[in-house]
Amino acid sequence: MRVFDVHYVLVTGGAGYIGSHACKALKQAGFVPVVFDNLSTGWAEAVKFGPLVQGDLMDRAAIDAAFAQYNPVAVLHFAALSLVGDSMRDPAHYWRVNVGGALNLAEAAVAAGCRKFIFSSTCATYGDQDGVLLNEDTAQRPINAYGASKRAIEDILANFEAAFGLEHVIFRYFNVAGADPEGEVGEQHRPETHLIPLMLDAVAGRRSALTLHGTDYPTPDGTCIRDYVHVTDLVNAHVLGLQWLLGGKGTRSFNLGSGKGFSVREVIEQAGLVTNRAVPIIEGPRRPGDAAALVSGSHRAVAELGWEPRHSTMEQMIRDAWAWGQKPGYEA
């Protein structure tokens, strides 16, 4: 049966960290998120705000069936492989899954007449450009297969707009952190790879120590510098992007970050202040494919979308992540 009386939005990867937060934001904005997820890294328990379709983006028939059943007004595409180190070791897997899955999804959207598409891209498309505040016009020179696969999907979307009128908003994320301040959803990866939850797991005793991956970068304290954005702020931008497309404003790209860079050691220092505990650390070698510094210029999102990154202080990101990790039933 096809349903037309509500505004459905197809959310790929909606059982994952960012996707689950996006589903909550969509529901609060009056949409019904339909999660399309193979649950390889996501959690069925995180699907709380709309129906779940368990399916894989490599299965075109499953995607077509989801479009036929729900007739979504738009697609939010989060599902992807996203580990830089893994992408350097096995680039073919990243090209096959990320690019192949996105191509299937774009083709299915066009076939179903759904021509509003929001894509979760990454600052990794810019590569390593130290000392440069990265804005949407900065040259894209990815240095790992993850960033290259995301850049390729951006090109696919441009081609599909030219050929089929597939309007799209691209969001290039910087480091996403924190958790829903109300505690309904949070960050929980298998395995965990993100700095802040790894650090807080070490503080809580769920792992022995946090490994510093490289202490000899050309930065003031030798550790990588990254721009962090609160997940709640990030997904609110996606709702604004959806409203942008539905309002007929057309294709646009936006960076999403706080505009402030923090070194790994600075994040560790802030975690100690928030938790009032020492962070156990060990020093390790650099990871292949890691840039020394990535900091956003997000002025376009603020000026054009009216986006306000209100939660994106390091203190609140760590505080919300710490609260989520202390919830009963949380598993590292």
**Do 109 and 38 reside in the same domain of the chain?**
yes
Task: State the CATH number of the domain containing residue 75.
Answer: 3.40.50.720
**Do 166 and 266 reside in the same domain of the chain?**
no
The DSSP string of 9-75 is EEEETTTSHHHHHHHHHHHHTT-EEEEEE--SSS-GGG--SS-EEE--TT-HHHHHHHHHHH--SEE
pTM for the whole structure: 0.92
187 in a structural domain: no
Domain count of the chain? Answer: 2
**Do 87 and 148 reside in the same domain of the chain?**
yes
185 in a structural domain: no
**Do 117 and 58 reside in the same domain of the chain?**
yes
Domain extent at residue 123 = 8-177+228-256
**Do 102 and 239 reside in the same domain of the chain?**
yes
Residue-by-residue pLDDT tens, the chain, 332 positions: 344 568 999 999 999 999 999 999 999 999 999 999 999 989 999 999 999 999 999 999 999 999 999 999 999 999 999 888 899 999 999 999 999 999 999 999 999 999 999 999 999 999 887 667 889 999 999 999 999 999 999 999 999 999 999 999 999 999 999 999 999 999 886 777 789 999 999 999 999 999 999 999 999 999 999 999 999 999 999 999 999 999 999 999 999 999 899 999 999 999 999 999 999 999 999 988 788 888 898 799 999 999 999 999 999 999 999 999 887 654 54
Task: Give the burial string for 288-307 (b: 16+ CB within 10 Å, else e).
Answer: ebbbbbbbbbbebbeeebeb
The DSSP string of 249-302 is ---EEEEES-S-EEEHHHHHHHHHHHHTS---EEEEPPPTT--SEEEE--HHII
190 in a structural domain: no
**Residue 217: active-site member:** no
- Report yes or no: 157 and 119 within 8 Å, Cβ to Cβ: yes
Residues contacting residue 291 through CB under 8 Å, at least 6 positions apart: 124, 127, 128, 129, 130, 143, 224
**Do 12 and 135 reside in the same domain of the chain?**
yes
**Do 13 and 93 reside in the same domain of the chain?**
yes
331 in a structural domain: no
Residue among 146, 173, 217, 228 flagged as catalytic: 146
Task: State the CATH number of the domain containing residue 201.
Answer: 3.90.25.10
